[in-house]
Amino acid sequence: MSRYIATRALRGANMVVREADQMLKQAIAELGPDAKVEFTNTAYFLPVIYGFTGRQVTKLADLGPVLEEAKKLLHPVPKDKHYLPYLGETLDAGVASLLAMEAIEGIRFARGEEPMPFNWGSKGLVGGSFTSPEFEGAGGADGRLNGPIDDIQLRAWGIQLVDGRMPGFAAIVGCAKSNEVAVEIVRQLQQRNILVFLSGNVNGRSIIHQLHEEGVEMGYDTYIVPFGLDTMSAIYALGFATRSALTFGGMKGGQAREILLYNKYRVFAFVLALGEIDDLKYAAAAGAISYGFPTIADTVIPQILPTGITSYEHVISMPFDDIEGENDLERAKRLVQRAIEVRGVKIKITEVPIPVPYGSAFEGERVRRADMRIEFGGKNSRCFEYLRMRNMDEIEDHKIVVDGPGFEDVEEGGSMDMGILVEVAGRKMQEDFEPVLERQIHYFINGASGVQHIGQRDITWIRISKAAAQKGFNLKHLGEILYARFHADFGAIVDKVQVTIITDPKKVAEMLEVARQAYDYRNRRLADLTDEAVDTFYSCTLCQSFAPNHVCVVTPERLGLCGAYNWLDCKASYEINPTGPNQPIPKGTCLDPVKGYFTGPNEFVKQYSHGTVEQVALYSIMENPMTACGCFECIMMVIPEANGVMIVSREDPSMTPAGMTFSTLAGMAGGGLQTPGVMGIGKYYITSKKFISADGGLKRVVWMSSILKQQMREELQKAAEREGVPDLLDKIADETICTDVDGLLPWLEEKGHPALMMDPIF
Amino acid sequence: MSPNFQSMDPAVQALHPIAEEICYPTAFERAAELKPCPIGSTGVCCRMCAMGPCRLVGKTDRGVCGATRATVVARNYTRMVAAGAAAHSDHGRDLARTLIETARGEAKSYRIRDVQKLYEVAEFMEVPTKGRSIEEIALEVGQKALAEFGQQEGELMYLRRAPKKRQEIWRKTGIAPRGIDREVVEALHRTHEGVDMDAENILKHALRCSLADGWGGSMMATDISDILFGTPVPLNTYHNLGVLKEDEVNLIIHGHEPTLSEMVVAVAQMPEMQEYARSKGAKGINLAGMCCTALEVLARHGVPSAGNFLSQEIAVLTGAVDAMVVDVQCIMEALVPVSQRFHTLLITTSPKAKMTGALHIEFDEEHALDIAKEIVKRAVDNFPNRKAEVVIPKFVSPAVGGFSHEYLQYMQGGLHRGSFRPLNDAIIAGRIRGAAGVVGCNNARVPQDEGIMKVIRTLIANDVLVVTTGCVAHASGKYGYLLPEMMRDAGKGLREVCEAIGIPPVLNLGSCVDNSRILTVLSQMATEGGLGQDIGDMPVVGFAPEWMSEKAISIGTYFAASGVHTFFGVNNIISGSPEVVEILSKKWDEMVGGTMEFITDYDEMIQAALAHIDRKRAELGLVPWDPERYGQSGGDELMEKILSLPPEQRYLYSRKVVEERVAEQV
């Protein structure tokens, strides 16, 4: 701290706690003490308050004791002379400010004032699912800002946060020096896949206004989340941080120190304070420091360079004009670079030589038909992608050929056929890795700003935007992307990469035939891959950076619960990085083929869960089920009354027959603890032969989020047939049918669901 | 001014002429008059039996019994340790008894002020707390503490507070103390005529006995004082004789224990007493402290400090001290004659420490409040008896006191993130070169405070963070070094850390028993990580530049036994035996990783300490300290100047521009 900063932060803290107190009194007077307080679609109540105090705020009256606790954390401002130490006091006051800020946002929610209204006009809001479904897609004059990040999104980002694809978040507060600078700062962060949270203003003008004016797409899909126009909304960034610890770290409410240290060591976040900093911003920044998040300002403020509460410097001042650089864009770039250094974020940027920005943050960008220059695949054309292994002497590294015409002559908004043939060679390359690598094409191509990739294999669908085409993006660049990324990400197994972009319709058709034979072969090979057919499973401890005691055991018939790692992926990952998070687990002796006990996994899990888990039954939810980190695609839970299980998707915010929503259930399923009857899974495990086979398999499923039924109808149907109940899908209820047990049981009986006739699950 | 007068304290300098005027020789004159015994001062005088005293000088290398110089020096040294350990520990014992009496409701004037600390200590002592009243817990804590004194086997429980590696060293070398009294008794036994005659073996027991002080009696005294009177947190206070007030009743509380002084503080604030003072023509009652008692009430109540050991007689010279109440330790018998020359009422209170010629009002915990009232009343009654002209020098320095190890942790992260991480980080990065405990006494053989301040100034300028207790804390306060503003005298790196936390570069940790706080802090730093696994691995040193008491020797020895290289000034009391010098400076290093060295030249002492710090840094693989590496933090002054500019002039996007505008404004 510096005394100046301490003084201003303490002043801000005293002010905001007082303000919250007054707002609460008024709100209780107007709405009554029982008025509901909740952040829509988020778990953990008001998360910062819950994290620090363990208090579960659900109504206005609950906020009273919270503010009393906040008051105890306040201190007077230091004197001018002979002052007493201020660091601990200021950090406490910072925490008090956070409690008060969250209380204020809670009160605003109770009043229906949050998320903050915003006039989106005709542009700017993308990516749909903002906090409240009722606001979804609501652009225009009656739009809203995002407010807190919803739980589905938090979990969806979970795996990226843990595997490092998403290094952390930048909480930007205030307003950049110019619109141009605002855009550049955000683009720089996007290119590094850093989540960008926006809040606050300077004299009424916010970076949200700046980006909106410049037509920057904001929303979950572009990693830019506009929280609100005032400093209060910056609390959502710390709510996100707290929820990360609760969700993935297995912490409980009230474990303040643990939650803060979790963030210091595992969540790479920082505050970027743009423009003049007022008392409240200083107070909020002091609160952020307790999380280990430093503040970098683009104005003249005192610097606090010694380390300790944060891993590196606490407060950095980089007056914008003083930053070395040819122009403001370069200065913006340097500012972001410095911010990243200060937080110690390790970022590997792959330089991709293409004329548009590149990074995972652009993966979610959509190219609307109106903005589209050309598309490949979809309704009007064919597109496929195929990756195959070749011998080292059969291909030439970095040979990128466009076989056929470019899209220059196609009319705007038109379409054409395309095949992407990627040929790789490497000493450690195996045929088994072909599909693993091929699946990466989707992510790699999507990283280019203005290029959209959907689907895979022969249902690939690629769009290139007008903006990208104007900047000179052409088909050869697709090859450049693939070449650069395969070398960067899979250099350990790939020595040579050759890419052929085929647009000649005849050649597309020819190569498509070859590709389809390969797809077919792989399908059959995959079907042959059973748990019995291999002698090695793989571990996945990728999430231990977030959930320190969790171990996934990935088998050919049970993929990782995040859905991102199947057995082949793990095998490839082990080849790429032999000391990495995916280690071979020899099966050892099979102790129980039905429940799925093996000596190898048991020993491994015991060791790597640091003794929290003694043994694991791979095929059961009832006995020693596999633990979960927090990134699961689905949660399943036993419904005793129905003698079966329900499965809720993380994309489903509705109530379930378990009496809990996904968010609430997640608290029981995550954190690396075994809870019999509850399990987090990857959705494709549902169609596996080994799906809770010890407990009766797919026939036990009595309720399932409708989105799963839609997404996997075909696979589920096949599995149902395999299980001997071809009409099973129609007998499984979903949230459109019932959301409680009382509704579920009559439905099951009416449909004659097989679970009712099975042996008792207990 | 008399040529023999040696003090750098301006208040003492201002008052000393009064002593000359009234022909009263103070300690400064007595020291000049009475040369130290040249034989005893090197440690080779053996007076353990009636065959001697044997003076082992010149060609005499054995006493009548055949004792070698090494044996004699080791025995004398060990007896000093035993006496020092006894003094600190007896202080601890009295507090344990007070806690028990308080818990039983016998000492009605006392209560448990810091319940949180009680719980923490209870947990540490494995005293059950669930479902028990505070009194029940306090009683068992007191009893467990008291049992440490008589314990005959096993180990003192506070040893567990040390880093694991340190505990192993103690066990391996066989110096883990079993019981406090036992080690003191054994020290006396071993050094009796005809018992232990192997210098190394004798001195090994000195280590063990000293540990029973630092990790026994002293640590207990600190913990229980916190439980009974509150754990200190920083507060503003004042130092030096200027704190005395001409128009108020000045009552100086002098000595070491907080039990009585806490009551005096409470009584002096009572409206009835204030009223009584006014009835005698005074404007109020002004309390001031001296020596460690001062530091106890300073840390908890902000009671100002009148001075350190060598200021005690001088205080009386002001003619403004209406009463001086003393308990135990470091009280000069000369207070009797000097107070007789003035109107000062000298009151002894401890049954252990009476002074011929002083008024004795015996203190006991059961009647504490009444006794305190009696004392304060006596002081007030004496106010009208002031005879000589009152001379109160204007010298007074504001200061920040009240640092406890709990607060040290708090200040580095607040309630939720408090730890020693920032301090360890700062040492690892080389912002802070190392840390030093500068403690101990005044000694009339050397100019008052001069060595202390030389050491402190040099250390902070070299980025060494200083913690201090006892008379050194008073000295630091007198010259303003306990103020945060003094970070301007610190090296660039240390200044950054001080500025980040808002602390002075010198931290007042309290009284001499509170040296145990330093042990706790060092243990926490070692446990925090990054600086090795043990106190002995860290770049830390101990100093007692102007030591004089046996307690100081015990402190120095327990610091050595805890793995700290410790430097003592004034006189080398073991110089009579090069073998003993070798043991304390080399063998102890091999054995416990700490040393005791007597170096009379301050510069040499400082250089040796800095070299040790740098050596430890190198052993830990830390970056070498570089005075120019850091210092870019800050900017408070500029911000304040910017705020004085008209709003439209405050261009914050460029430091250069705004600095120019500020300059134009001026």
Please indicate, yes or no, if residue A349 is contained in any of the structural domains.
Answer: no
Q: Give A286 to chain B, closest Cα distance, Å.
A: 11
Least confident of A17-26, A409-418, B595-604: A409-418
Q: Residue B102: pLDDT above 80? A: yes
Give mean pLDDT, residues B16-28.
94
Domain match, A310 and A435 both: no
Q: Which of A91, A313, A328 to mutate to test the interface with B (most CBs of B within 10 A)?
A: A91
Across the interface, of A88, A177, A298, the residue whose CB is closest to B414 is A88
Of A488, A505, A522, at which residue does a domain stop?
Answer: A505
Give residue B3's pLDDT band: very low, low, confident or very high (50, 70, 90).
Answer: low
Residue B469 half-sphere exposure toward CB, CA atoms < 13 A: 28
Of A81, A110, A139, at which residue does a domain stop?
Answer: A110
Q: Which of A257, A300, A303, A328 to mutate to test the interface with B (most CBs of B within 10 A)?
A: A300
Domain match, A78 and A192 both: no
Whether residues B416 and A257 touch (CB distance < 8 A) is answered with: yes
The reply to whether omega before A115 is within 30° of 0 (cis) is yes
Cα(B221)–Cα(B212) distance, rounded to whole angstroms?
12
Whether residues A307 and B429 touch (CB distance < 8 A) is answered with: yes
Domain match, A166 and A294 both: yes
Give residue A129's pLDDT band: very low, low, confident or very high (50, 70, 90).
Answer: very low
In terms of CA atoms, which chain B residue is nearest residue A274?
Answer: B653
Please indicate, yes or no, if residue A373 is contained in any of the structural domains.
Answer: yes
Say which CATH number the domain at A610 has: 3.40.1470.10
pLDDT of residue A349: 65
Please indicate, yes or no, if residue A354 is contained in any of the structural domains.
Answer: no
- Domain B397-620 sits in CATH at 3.40.50.2030
Q: Give A300 to chain B, closest Cα distance, Å.
A: 5
Give residue A56's pLDDT band: very low, low, confident or very high (50, 70, 90).
Answer: very high
Answer yes or no: same fold for B241-385 and B397-620. yes
pLDDT of residue A346: 62
Please indicate, yes or no, if residue A267 is contained in any of the structural domains.
Answer: yes
Domain match, A386 and A320 both: no
pLDDT of residue B492: 96
> Which tokens hold the place of A320?
């914008």
Say which CATH number the domain at A57 has: 1.10.8.190
pLDDT: is A272 or A541 the higher one? A272
Of A51, A81, A110, at which residue does a domain stop?
Answer: A110
Q: Running DSSP on this structure, what letter comes out for residue B147?
A: H
Domain match, A277 and A338 both: yes
The reply to whether omega before B53 is within 30° of 0 (cis) is yes
Whether residues B654 and A320 touch (CB distance < 8 A) is answered with: yes
Please indicate, yes or no, if residue A83 is contained in any of the structural domains.
Answer: yes
Q: Give B78 to chain A, closest Cα distance, Å.
A: 41
Q: Residue A455: pLDDT above 70? A: yes
Question: Which residues constitute the domain of residue A654?
Answer: 536-757
Whether residues A87 and B658 touch (CB distance < 8 A) is answered with: no
Domain match, A32 and A78 both: yes
Domain match, A180 and A231 both: yes
pLDDT of residue A351: 77
Give residue A345's pLDDT band: very low, low, confident or very high (50, 70, 90).
Answer: low
Q: What is the pLDDT of residues A105-119, one digit of tens each?
A: 999 999 999 899 888
Whether residues B412 and A95 touch (CB distance < 8 A) is answered with: no
Q: Give B238 to chain A, closest Cα distance, Å.
A: 11
Give residue A348's pLDDT band: very low, low, confident or very high (50, 70, 90).
Answer: low
Of the candidates B553, B557, B563, B554, the residue with the CA atom closest to the CA atom of residue B589:
B563
In degrees, rounded to 5, the angle at the alpha carbon of residue B551 between the alpha carbons of residues B550 and B555 is: 120
pLDDT of residue B335: 98
Please indicate, yes or no, if residue A214 is contained in any of the structural domains.
Answer: yes
Q: Give A307 to chain B, closest Cα distance, Å.
A: 6
Across the interface, of B416, B419, B634, the residue whose CB is closest to A2 is B634
Please indicate, yes or no, if residue A123 is contained in any of the structural domains.
Answer: yes
Q: Give B606 to chain A, closest Cα distance, Å.
A: 26
Contact residues, chain A, for B635 at CB < 8 Å: 2, 4, 300-303, 317
Q: Running DSSP on this structure, what letter comes out for residue B542?
A: E
Q: Are A478 and A495 in contact (CB under 8 A)?
A: no
pLDDT of residue A479: 94
Q: Residue A682: pLDDT above 80? A: yes
Q: Residue A713: pLDDT above 70? A: yes
Cα(A589)–Cα(B377) distance, rounded to whole angstroms?
88
Phi-psi region of B150 (alpha: psi -120 to 50; beta: other; left: phi over 0): alpha
Q: What is the pLDDT of residues A257-271, one digit of tens each?
A: 999 999 998 888 999
Cα(B651)–Cα(B645) distance, rounded to whole angstroms?
10
In terms of CA atoms, which chain A residue is nearest residue B635?
Answer: A302
Whether residues B413 and A301 touch (CB distance < 8 A) is answered with: no
Domain match, A421 and A547 both: no
pLDDT of residue B614: 98
Give residue A43's pLDDT band: very low, low, confident or very high (50, 70, 90).
Answer: confident
Q: Are A630 and A547 in contact (CB under 8 A)?
A: yes
Q: What is the pLDDT of residues A730-755, one digit of tens each?
A: 999 999 999 999 999 999 999 999 99
In terms of CA atoms, which chain B residue is nearest residue A320?
Answer: B653
Q: Residue A133: pLDDT above 70? A: no
In terms of CA atoms, which chain A residue is nearest residue B407?
Answer: A88
Give mean pLDDT, residues A412-424.
94
Most confident of the following: A579-593, A595-609, B546-560, B627-641 = B546-560
Whether residues A2 and B636 touch (CB distance < 8 A) is answered with: yes
Give mean pLDDT, residues A695-707.
94
Q: Residue B498: pLDDT above 70? A: yes
Of the candidates A550, A538, A513, the residue with the CA atom closest to the CA atom of residue A679:
A550
Whether residues A2 and B633 touch (CB distance < 8 A) is answered with: yes
Exposed / middle / buried, residue A545 (Cβ in 10 Å: 0-12, 13-18, 19+): middle
Q: Residue B145: pLDDT above 60? A: yes
Per-residue H/E/C for B13-76:
HHHHHHHHHCCCCCHHHHHHHCCCCCCHHHCCEECCCCCCCEECCCCCCECCCCCEHHHHHHHH
Give residue B643's pLDDT band: very low, low, confident or very high (50, 70, 90).
Answer: confident
Say which CATH number the domain at A439 has: 3.30.1650.10
pLDDT of residue B166: 97
Cα torsion through B453, B457, B463, B466, rounded to 10: 20
Whether residues A82 and B425 touch (CB distance < 8 A) is answered with: no
Q: Residue B59: pLDDT above 70? A: yes
- Fold held by B54-229: Substrate Binding Domain Of Dnak; Chain:A; Domain 2 (1.20.1270)
Exposed / middle / buried, residue B275 (Cβ in 10 Å: 0-12, 13-18, 19+): exposed
pLDDT of residue B580: 98
Contact residues, chain A, for B642 at CB < 8 Å: 300
Cα(A228)–Cα(A201) distance, rounded to whole angstroms?
9
pLDDT of residue A313: 87
Domain match, A104 and A148 both: no
Q: How many CB atoms sit inside 10 A of residue A373's CB?
A: 21
> Which tokens hold the place of A552?
């996934």
Would you list the domain boundaries of chain B?
10-46, 54-229, 241-385, 397-620, 636-665
Q: Are B428 and B497 in contact (CB under 8 A)?
A: no
Q: What is the pLDDT of residues B448-483, one digit of tens each?
A: 999 999 999 999 999 999 999 999 999 999 999 999
Phi-psi region of B357 (alpha: psi -120 to 50; beta: other; left: phi over 0): left
Q: Residue A544: pLDDT above 90? A: no
Cα(B434)–Cα(B539) distance, rounded to whole angstroms?
5
pLDDT of residue A277: 96
Q: Residue A141: pLDDT above 70? A: no
Helix (H, G, I), strand (E, B) or coil at B175: coil
Across the interface, of B423, B485, B636, the residue whose CB is closest to A4 is B636
Number of domains in chain A: 4
Q: What is the pLDDT of residues A584-619, one digit of tens each?
A: 999 999 999 999 999 999 999 998 888 889 999 999
Q: What is the pLDDT of residues B319-339, one digit of tens each?
A: 999 999 999 999 999 999 999
Q: Residue B611: pLDDT above 70? A: yes
Q: Give A262 to chain B, closest Cα distance, Å.
A: 12
Average pLDDT, chain A: 90
> Which tokens hold the place of A161?
């946060």
Please indicate, yes or no, if residue A180 is contained in any of the structural domains.
Answer: yes
Percentage of chain A modeled with pLDDT above 70: 96
Across the interface, of B235, B413, B426, the residue whose CB is closest to A306 is B426
Domain match, A252 and A315 both: yes
Whether residues B502 and A86 touch (CB distance < 8 A) is answered with: yes
Average pLDDT, chain B: 96
Give residue B53's pLDDT band: very low, low, confident or very high (50, 70, 90).
Answer: very high
Q: Which of B501, B509, B644, B650 to mutate to test the interface with A (most CBs of A within 10 A)?
A: B501
pLDDT of residue A669: 86
Q: Which of B423, B653, B662 to mutate to test the interface with A (most CBs of A within 10 A)?
A: B653
pLDDT of residue B27: 96
- Domain B241-385 sits in CATH at 3.40.50.2030
Q: Give A250 to chain B, closest Cα distance, Å.
A: 19
Cα(B327)–Cα(B267) distance, rounded to whole angstroms?
17
